[in-house]
Structure 1
Amino acid sequence: MNAGIVFLVLAYVMSQFYRAFLAVMAPALGADIGAGPEDLAFASGMWFLVFAAMQIPVGEALDRIGPRRTASVLFALGGGGGAAVFAMATSPVHINIAMMLIGVGCSPVLMASYYIFARSYSPAVFATLAGVTLGIGTIGNIGSALPLTFALDWFGWRGTMWVLSAASLFIAVMAAVWVRDPAQVQTSVKGTVLDLLRMPVLWPILLMMMVNYVPVAGLRGLWVGPYLDEVFSASAETIGVVTLIMSFAMVAGNFLYGPMDRLIPSRKAIVLGGNLIGVAVIGMLFVFAGHSIVLSTVLLAAVGLSGASFVVIIAHAKTFFPDHLTGRGVTLLNLFGMGGTGLVQSVSGKVYAIADSGSGPVLAYQWLFSFFGLCLLFGCVAYAFSKDGKNIR
């Protein structure tokens, strides 16, 4: 990895942090500015929805002006600026605005790396490089777990956000200096994202992508903290430890799925098998929701491990992309992935609120787990009709 890729990966570390830190921030935000679980679910959903909406202009920008300017400018304005707005928040509305800005800033960083990998490296190693990038990036999830609880104790949540704002600005400037754009594709063929949407071979893959990240993002990014607090009366330190364990499982999953793409001759089998395991684990989490914090921790880690098939889904779809639509293709997948996650994340707050009306916390979270599990099962059924892409080209 050259210096440019290193700083794009560091930006992705920050992206992973920003999408998951509300779970640990929740008690402090609730006590200080009155932001409850439903407010934070909406704010988290807005992050994903704005992130998803940005994928269309990001894809255009990657193909037209390259990853250097696309990633560095947006991450500086959105990541650095959004964290600063968060640090000054005095109401849940301000948290929503901040998370939307941060979503804009984080939207290009992973796809900028993937664009460089797709254009500059052999297709055979794309999934491995993408998996390594995801694995390293998931350090951000680790940072948003137990280490964040220490930062909150030392600096408070506002001071922590100011540090994050400064770190985001520094990474953006370094990316602007060091990232090198691949040579542009020289072709007279024109195209848009609509050309990709007209390809039926991509439809089952897009539906799988739409729900693949839903349980991981929903649980690790938001609901694990309130769940452990309300069902098991867990302390902030315990919540930090459990989220840390789940984060490590996600890192392991990212490092496992990439090499599997080179060892197992069917991408479809890798993705479908991994996500069906995820459905089964979520089913167990539903059954044993109030059993013990130890068992719940094991099952949450298993959700994180099995739900890391993102890179193989992208590698599968990429075999069908025309070269001149590579940027639009990877960002279209990201749009479906983050857009689906954002929609479900926003709705999850309503599911929790309805289920929690007098029924007790265990039943409320069983409803929430079943909601996530059914979404993932829907994607698996649709993806079962996909055409395998292992040896297309």
Structure 2
Amino acid sequence: MAARVFFLFALGYFLSYFYRSANAVLAKDLSQELGLGPAELGFMTSLFYLAFAAAQLPLGGLLDRVGPRAVTPALLLVAALGSVVFGLAQSFAVLALGRALIGVGMAAALMGSMRAFSLWFPRNYATVSTLLVGLGATGGLMAATPLALLKEALGWRGVFLLGAFVVALVALALYLGVRNTPPGVAWPGGQRGDGLGEVFRNGRLLRVAFLAFAFAGSFLALQTLWAGDYAYHLGLTALEVGNLLFLYSGGAVLGFLVSGYLADRLGTARVLLASALLFALGLLLLLLKALVPAYALLGFFGAFNILTLTQARELVPSHLVGRGTTLVNLFGIGGTFLLQWGVGVAVEALGYALAFGGLLALLLLALGLYLPLLHKSSG
């Protein structure tokens, strides 16, 4: 039963990662067919994250009280509807609506899994959670070269219509195939009261949240749109772009898989700091157009941003795990929305060099604010 719970939640997160990443490969088709400029493309793609982020705080309370067995499949059906809307869209407004619905629908894929795993796998929570993220991140691999090939066979609209059917099947399988808790374990529910107030007053948690804003936001904004569009801008073919994104996403899968292991042995704060600095090096190499090492560093070390969620769980009491982790996830996904849109505006007005330079400066600022937490953790 535990293996089935893990597998079905991993399928849900796989789909979430696929959908968030798909527009990087489809950017050229969407721009040409619907006449989207960089700012419109960035805004439309980032709506996934705006909708995803807006759902996080109410989602945390729902997961603590109702449980992921009902919440996650219900939202996945919203994502399936969004996929249909996106695939049939003939205008920017309808395309944007579809993207936003997908974002709402995928909001519980990771957080629902983590809430369930806190009871199904309490003794090896960190290991199982990072394994889930690593396996789910293969959705980013599917949204690279395989998606480029599938798009050639079905067209981008066909990809989204087929995807809607797959998402609905996974939603049904989750509802029928999992339980909130292992047999014999009662669902604890969630305390009402001032839970959100407690997490917002936690200064250490807010430092982690701002690091998630800059680190996770930059990682996902690049992976799910601008790393692909930048490669197209440099004159690469669709297959060459797909291969670079495959390198980025493949590195991310490896990074997710080893991040928890390293954090358990070296300390979460130390590993977060080191990985964010190496991600910053990747941004610098991207500016220098050293694409292969840049995409490899950005993918592998960018994946370590997931440790902000692990650290969030360490900084809140057990009855606030859902709300504490969704707060940090709100900052990370909200950062993706703002940075993905902001890069589009900056590229249109100033060019890629200043846009990516802005991401680098923001990450260094976040690391500066995070350093006191590193010293406390070391002590």
Give me the whole-angstrom Cα distance separating, in 2, the residues matched to 1:175 and 1:155. Answer: 28
Deviates further, 47-56 or 211-220: 211-220
Q: Is the 8 A contact 1:268 1:389 kept in 2?
A: no
Decide which of 366, 370, 374 is 1:383's aligned counterpart: 370
The 8 Å contact of residues 215 and 372 in structure 1, kept in 2 or not, is answered as: yes
| Contact 1:20–1:144 under 8 Å retained in 2 | yes
Q: CA deviation at 1:97?
A: 0.6
From 162, 183, 188, the counterpart of 1:185: 188
After superposition, the Cα gap between the structure-2 partners of 1:229 and 1:61, relative to the gap in structure 1 and judged at 3 Å, is: same
Q: Distance in 1 between matches of 2:197 and 2:30?
A: 41
CA pair 186-19 structure 1, distance change in 2 beyond 3 A: closer
Question: Given the superposition, is the C-alpha separation of residues 180 and 187 from structure 1 closer, same or farther in structure 2, using an over 3 Å criterion?
Answer: closer
Question: In structure 2, what residue type is equivalent to 1:374?
Answer: A
Aligned counterpart, 1:122: 122
- 1:373 CA drift (Å): 1.1
Paired residues of 2:31 and 2:41 also in contact (CA < 8 A)? no
Q: Among residues 341, 344, 358, which one is paired with 1:346 in the alignment? A: 341
Q: Which moved more, 1:324-333 or 1:133-142?
A: 324-333
Q: For residue 69 of structure 1, what is the aligned residue in structure 2?
A: 70
Alpha-carbon distance in structure 1 between the residues aligned to 2:169 and 2:83: 13
Name the SS for the 2:373 alignment partner: coil
How many residues end up aligned between the 2 structures?
Answer: 374
Structure 1: which amino acid aligns with 2:222?
L
What amino acid sits opposite 2:312 in the alignment? A
Output the CA distance in 2 between the equivalents of 1:382 and 1:179: 41
SS of the residue 1:251 aligns to? helix
Rounded to whole Å, the distance in 1 between the matches of 2:375 and 2:172 is 41
Paired residue secondary structure (1:180): coil
User: For residue 167 of structure 1, what is the aligned residue in structure 2?
Assistant: 166
Deviates more, 1:155-164 or 1:176-185: 176-185
Q: State the alpha-carbon separation in 2 of the partners of residues 170 and 188 from structure 1.
A: 33
Shift of 1:121: 2.7
SS in 2 for 1:366: helix
Whichever structure has more helix as a proportion of its residues is 2
- What SS does the corresponding residue of 1:307 show, helix, strand or coil? helix
Q: Could you list the per-position Cα deviations for residues 114-152 of structure 1 after superposition, in whole angstroms to 9, with x for gaps in the alignment?
A: 1122233336x3322221111111111011111111111
Distance in 1 between residues matched to 2:193 and 2:120, nearest whole Å: 21
Aligned equivalent of 2:318, options 292, 302, 323: 323
Q: 1:368 aligns with which of 341, 355, 370?
A: 355
Q: Say whether residues 1:278 and 2:271 are aligned partners.
A: no
In structure 2, relative to structure 1, the CA distance for the partners of 1:379 and 1:126 (3 Å cut) is: farther
- 189 and 170 in structure 1: CA distance in 2 versus 1, 3 angstrom threshold: closer
Per-residue deviation, 1:185? 2.5
Deviation at 1:80? 0.4
Residues 189, 71 of structure 1: alpha-carbon distance in 2 compared, 3 angstrom cutoff = closer
C-alpha distance in structure 1 between counterparts of 2:334 and 2:305, whole Å: 14
CA separation in 2, counterparts of 1:303 and 1:188?
A: 39
Partner of 1:243: 245
RMSD: 1.9
Task: Give the letter for the 1:386 counterpart.
Answer: L
Question: Which residue identity lines up with residue 216 of structure 2 in the other structure?
Answer: Y
Specify the alignment match of 1:358 in structure 2. none
Aligned to 1:10: 11
Q: Quote the residue 1:205 is aligned against.
A: 208
Q: Does 1:45 align with 2:46?
A: yes
Q: Write the mapping of 1:262-341 to structure 2, written as runs, cut at 5 A.
A: 262-264=264-266, 266-286=267-287, 288-289=288-289, 295-341=290-336
Matched residue, 1:55 = 56
- Normalised by the length of structure 2, the TM-score is 0.94
Classify the secondary structure of the residue corresponding to 1:321: coil
The residue number in structure 2 matching 1:359 is none
User: Comparing 111-120 with 181-190, which one deviates more in the overlay?
Assistant: 181-190
Q: Quick one: distance in 2 between partners of 1:299 and 1:310?
A: 17
CA distance in 2: counterparts of 1:284 and 1:239, whole angstroms: 17
Contact preservation (8 Å) 2:247, 2:296: yes
Cα 1:252–1:28 change in 2 (3 A) is same
Q: Does 1:102 align with 2:70?
A: no
Distance 1:347 1:331 in 2: 23
Deviates more, 1:33-42 or 1:182-191: 182-191
- Going from structure 1 to structure 2, the CA distance change for 1:120 and 1:261 (only over 3 Å counts) comes to same
Q: 1:7–1:175: 8 Å Cα contact kept in structure 2?
A: yes
User: Is the 8 Å Cα contact of residues 83 and 161 (structure 2) preserved in structure 1?
Assistant: yes
CA deviation map 1:9-44 (0-9, x unaligned): 111111111111111111211222222332221012
Specify the code of the residue in structure 1 equivalent to 2:363. Answer: L
**Contact 1:145–1:243 (Cα < 8 Å) also in 2:** yes
Which shows bigger deviation, 237-246 or 183-192? 183-192
Aligned residue in 1 for 2:84: 84
- Structure 2, unmatched stretches of 5+, are none
2:230 to 227, 231, 255: 227
C-alpha change, 1:273 and 1:179, in structure 2 (3 Å) is same
User: Deviations 1:27-80 (Å, cap 9, x if unpaired)?
Assistant: 211222222332221012211111011001110110111011110001112x10
Residue 4 of structure 1 and its aligned partner are, at CA, apart by 2.6
Amino acid at match of 2:342: V
Higher mean alpha-carbon deviation, 114-123 vs 94-103, is at: 114-123
CA deviation after TM superposition for structure 1 residue 314, in Å: 1.7
- State the alpha-carbon separation in 1 of the partners of residues 212 and 251 from structure 2: 20
